[in-house]
Chains A and B, each alone.
Chain A
């Protein structure tokens, strides 16, 4: 299960255990789940904001490259993060 590389053609979807939203009081995106909350850092929030069960990982990478043209090598970072998110069971692919 874990360990397998995420490839750009895969389509991540948020697991139904989690709700993703912008939380004003935290000034960040968060994942809410039964009786708990994960505060996401900036990049993690940017990626998960694009996860909708329709966009492929490649779509997400492309969108973020366009949004942050000065950021180098974000493709690897995004795929690594999606791998971590799957391990945490936040998303499925």
Chain B
């Protein structure tokens, strides 16, 4: 007996609204402004044309409504969320609503007084992102001469003030060979969690993919070293948790992106556009805005959030695939970027007729890189706005 038969035997779900979960995770992208210029930034490449920002009262309203629908985790992100002058107020309101509040920051613009003020306001956790474990590479990638020293200082201060701390290193071909030094730095800084997370090749990172994608050999070495550290640290009783995220470009099956479209995650961008994931803005789908619709309408009834729920939208090879309930056909953004059709299978899947595009990217990663990356800044963004 084959499991694959079940899809055929099932009742057709004519006009049925596909089931979906609660928006447990609310990501509030407070602003696109940022003092750094990381060439792998997940923000849209045309952010310079989107300068509107929700007011304090509008954000608090979003938090209140999403909490009613079950949101429990709130991430303050951006851009650099510290740029918002009302951050203390937003933290305080969110905490009073019962959220677990996460500040996702580069650390640039932070100081010990702000860290203390955030604590008083009820901030639960601070995640500091690093670009590399040594000042030269870090500052080069961040496009700032002082970033690294500031980050170190702030990471120490975050711990000194009693916060749980996650350190996030975005890994790519220029820093992944230093994985041992990165882990040692995290241990020294007493991080509770470490995310060694590959670039996600969207936005700026997609434009810079040839400059960022590591080779398979680099990746395998880094994973082996990470596993060795994990064993050694666990044996020594160190509670640090190390999460290693590999690029899906080296997989044969796609990721179950966002745990399914519109199932768990709700992103609200600086101008109030609501998205099922922070990259989805690139898709040719109309997304609702919190200024025009309630969060309940957006989450449960908007076309944007219902668009890729369920399986009706799928094409082959996904429709008849017995793994579709596991990976939902992969990432809609990746399918759109690489094949031009967001309904296609994510080309990461070896069953996809476009899988050759992924193989080409792997081959390109074996070649030396000569180009400068395109840094994420206003000037370069304006080029994409004209695009």
A residues neighboring B (CB under 8 Å): 1, 16-17, 19, 21, 23, 25-26, 30, 32-37, 89
Q: Determine if B166 and A25 form an interchain contact, defined as CB atoms under 8 angstroms apart.
A: no
Q: Determine if A16 and B166 form an interchain contact, defined as CB atoms under 8 angstroms apart.
A: no
Q: Determine if B237 and A30 form an interchain contact, defined as CB atoms under 8 angstroms apart.
A: no
Asked if B356 is at the interface (CB within 8 A of a chain A CB), the reply is no
A16: B residues at CB distance < 8 A: 162, 164
Q: Determine if B72 and A33 form an interchain contact, defined as CB atoms under 8 angstroms apart.
A: no
Q: Out of B70, B72, B192, B237, which one reaches A32, CB within 8 Å?
A: B72
> How many angstroms between the C-alpha atoms of A17 and B124 in the bound complex?
9
Q: Determine if B164 and A25 form an interchain contact, defined as CB atoms under 8 angstroms apart.
A: no
> How many angstroms between the C-alpha atoms of A37 and B162 in the bound complex?
20
Q: Out of A26, A37, A89, which one reaches B73, CB within 8 Å?
A: A37
Our count of residue pairs bridging A and B at CB distance below 8 angstroms stands at: 46
A34: B residues at CB distance < 8 A: 102, 124-125, 127, 164, 166, 192-193
Asked if B75 is at the interface (CB within 8 A of a chain A CB), the reply is yes
B73: A residues at CB distance < 8 A: 32, 35-37
Q: Return the chain B residue nearest A1 by Cβ.
A: B237
Known: A17-B164, A19-B124, A25-B22. A37 touches B72 (CB 8 A): yes
Q: Out of B69, B193, B239, which one reaches A25, CB within 8 Å?
A: B69
> How many angstroms between the C-alpha atoms of A21 and B72 in the bound complex?
10
A25: B residues at CB distance < 8 A: 22, 69-70, 72
> How many angstroms between the C-alpha atoms of A30 and B25 in the bound complex?
15
Q: Determine if A23 and B72 form an interchain contact, defined as CB atoms under 8 angstroms apart.
A: yes
> How many angstroms between the C-alpha atoms of A36 and B72 in the bound complex?
9
> How many angstroms between the C-alpha atoms of A26 and B24 in the bound complex?
10
Asked if B98 is at the interface (CB within 8 A of a chain A CB), the reply is yes
> How many angstroms between the C-alpha atoms of A16 and B124 in the bound complex?
10
> How many angstroms between the C-alpha atoms of A36 and B124 in the bound complex?
12
Q: List 20 A-B contacts (CB under 8 A).
A: A1-B237, A17-B164, A19-B100, A21-B98, A23-B98, A25-B22, A25-B70, A26-B70, A26-B72, A32-B72, A33-B125, A34-B102, A34-B124, A34-B125, A34-B127, A34-B192, A35-B25, A35-B75, A35-B102, A35-B166
* Residue among A16, A33, A37 with max Cβ neighbours from chain B (10 Å): A33
Mark B1-35 against chain A: 1 for CB-CB distance below 8 A, else 0.
00000000000000000000010110000000000
